Amino acid sequence: MPIIVKSREEIAIMREAGKIVGGTLQLLVDLLRPGLVEKELDEVVRKEFKKRDVIPTFLGYHGYPATVCVSINDEIVHGIPGDREIMDGDVVSIDLGCTYKGFVADAALTAGVGDVSPEAQKLIDATKEAVWLGIRAARGGSRVGEIGHAIQTYAEGKGYSVVREYVGHGVGREMHEDPQIPNYGSRESGPVLRPGMVIAIEPMVNIGGWRTKRDSDNWTVRTADRSLSAHFEHTLAITDEEPEVLTLP
Ligand code: MF3
Ligand code: CO
């Protein structure tokens, strides 16, 4: 599939989609507390999206059964919100997407609940810093490889590893468009970023090794060594200068 450059009008729509995703994610983080049942987050998204007349992009995507992904501790991404209660000290990653007027926005964040360990908090802070370093590297005229290079150099410099098997992506009418946006690799790799491209940058950073394994539910991805993992994601539009982050609250 070719890379699809968006018009100003299309980016204006994606800006609205992004605000809804960013705002709803913030709402979900504010609800996090020990004792909250994961499913309650899915229920809040369903209500919120209905109210705003937007489509939950994840629901039904390759058969995914919920509107949001909730991945805890050694779970990296794609956890299905179920009957599990969130516990004090948990590291909770929430990933959310919506479709508004035919365009998608996709974002994720990780938060510690209650009394989190200093190691966990450091991982969360570093992963958030990593996504912003990637965003700052995403300039019109630069190659996609600059993003992964910035993220990998920073994360590995802290002694962490970055997940290889899952990567960021172009975003538009489809949640996953070209190009792929790896969180690792050489600066000289990948296509050149052009104004009007919209991409999702989403580093997944592990305390241990980068290898992953999938649960028997065929969705939940966790670290192979069971180490803690954090995930941040924003959808952004490439410009001639700093990119415009679309999924802020
Ligand atoms: N937000 C994820 C991504 O960035 C996709 C979620 S997978 C789904 O690729 F099945 F839940 F939709
Ligand atoms: Co994504």
Distance CA 241, CA 25 (A): 27
Domain ranges across the chain: 8-242
- Nearest ligand 1 atom to the CA of 202 is 4
- Residue identifier of the C-alpha nearest atom 12 of ligand 1: 58
- Nearest ligand 1 atom to the CA of 57 is 12
Distance 67 CA to ligand 1 centre (A): 10
From residue 63, how far is each of 57, 58, 87, 142, 172 by CA, in Å?
A: 11, 9, 28, 36, 20
Distance 216 CA to ligand 2 centre (A): 22
Distance CA 153, CA 189 (A): 15
Give the count of alpha carbons within 13 A of 37, CB side only: 5
- What's residue 133's pLDDT? 98
Fold of the domain spanning 8-242: Creatine Amidinohydrolase (3.90.230)
Per-residue pLDDT of the chain (249 residues; tens, 9 = 90+): 899 999 999 999 999 999 999 999 999 999 999 999 999 999 999 999 999 999 999 999 999 999 999 999 999 999 999 999 999 999 999 999 999 999 999 999 999 999 999 999 999 999 999 999 999 999 999 999 999 999 999 999 999 999 999 999 999 999 999 999 999 999 999 999 999 999 999 999 999 999 999 999 999 999 999 999 999 999 999 999 999 999 999
What 3-state class would DSSP assign to 5?
Answer: coil
Six token digits for residue 134:
């990637």
- What's residue 92's pLDDT? 99
- What's residue 1's pLDDT? 83
Which ligand does the CA of 62 lie closest to?
1
Pocket test for ligand 1, best of 59, 64, 174 (most atoms within 8 A of CB): 64
Which residues form the pocket of ligand 1, taking CB atoms under 6 Å from any ligand atom?
58, 61-62, 64, 69, 78, 95, 97, 106, 200, 202, 233
Distance CA 161, CA 184 (A): 10
Give the count of alpha carbons within 13 A of 127, CB side only: 31
Six token digits for residue 12:
């204006």
- Residue identifier of the C-alpha nearest atom 2 of ligand 1: 95
What's the per-residue H, E or C state across 37-104? EHHHHHHHHHHHHHHHCCEECCCCHHHCCCCEEEEECCEEECCCCCCCECCCCCEEEEEEEEEECCEE
- Nearest ligand 1 atom to the CA of 68 is 11
- What's residue 206's pLDDT? 98
Amino acid making up residue 84: R
Distance CA 203, CA 200 (A): 10
pTM > 0.95 = yes
Are 78 and 221 a contacting pair, CB within 8 Å? yes
Distance CA 47, CA 38 (A): 15
Are 86 and 206 a contacting pair, CB within 8 Å? no
Distance CA 136, CA 4 (A): 21
